[in-house]
Amino acid sequence: VVCAPPKGLTNIKGAILLASFASGAGYLPAAQDLADRNLFLGGMVGDHHIQFYPNSATLAGMPKWPAAFFGKGLWDRAESVEGTIAAYDRIRGTKEIVVARGPHSIETWPAEDLNYLRVRMVEFARAVVLSKPLVPDNTRQWSNIKKLIATTPDSWEPSSRPGAQ
């Protein structure tokens, strides 16, 4: 990877990241030692044939991003919820996270969750492009990871529904 100075393009108003790993694949918050991360990455290679090492390049530049929207499944194996929150916390402009009880692959989410994701993406895009404030969904406000997870409706991605066969 060769890094270059930012282009400073004024037509870029923000980013919409769906099932991303902007914080780095395998992001672990406050890991006691690197062994935890290395074990996780070894498991990703062995189980899923995904071979890459996380780095902080994207996170380091996020404070310069004008806005960001994150859509993710709560049991995303590519990036933890903590990693998405770490990325979200670095955005200084308009930002939002929408989560669902599902995996990395959002196309498996229930229709209700996908519809909500679409509505919030459009609201985010309108606000950012028109330089207007993003009107929050007051029913899904959060201030910590527990409250973020509690914003999900009682709908489940089919393969992870409790009691599913």
| pLDDT tens-digit readout, 69-118 | 999 998 876 778 888 999 999 999 999 999 998 887 888 888 999 999 99
- Is residue 2 in some structural domain? no
The pLDDT assigned to 155 comes to 83
pTM, 2 dp = 0.80
The pLDDT assigned to 92 comes to 96
The pLDDT assigned to 81 comes to 87
Query: How many structural domains compose the chain?
Result: 1
- Is residue 165 in some structural domain? no
8 A C-beta contact, residue 148 and residue 99: yes
Q: Give the three-class secondary structure for 99.
A: strand
Residue 151 CB contacts under 8 Å (≥ 6 apart), including other chains: 99, 139, 140, 141, 142
- Is residue 104 in some structural domain? yes
- Is residue 124 in some structural domain? yes
Cα distances from 50 to residues 44, 56, 123, 127, in angstroms, run: 6, 18, 34, 36
- Is residue 114 in some structural domain? yes
Domain span including residue 25? 15-160
Q: Which of 59, 106, 110 lies closest to 83, judged by CA?
A: 59
Give the confidence band of 156 by pLDDT, cuts at 50, 70, 90.
Answer: confident
- Is residue 133 in some structural domain? yes
- Is residue 115 in some structural domain? yes
What residue type is assigned to position 53 of the chain? Y
- Is residue 42 in some structural domain? yes
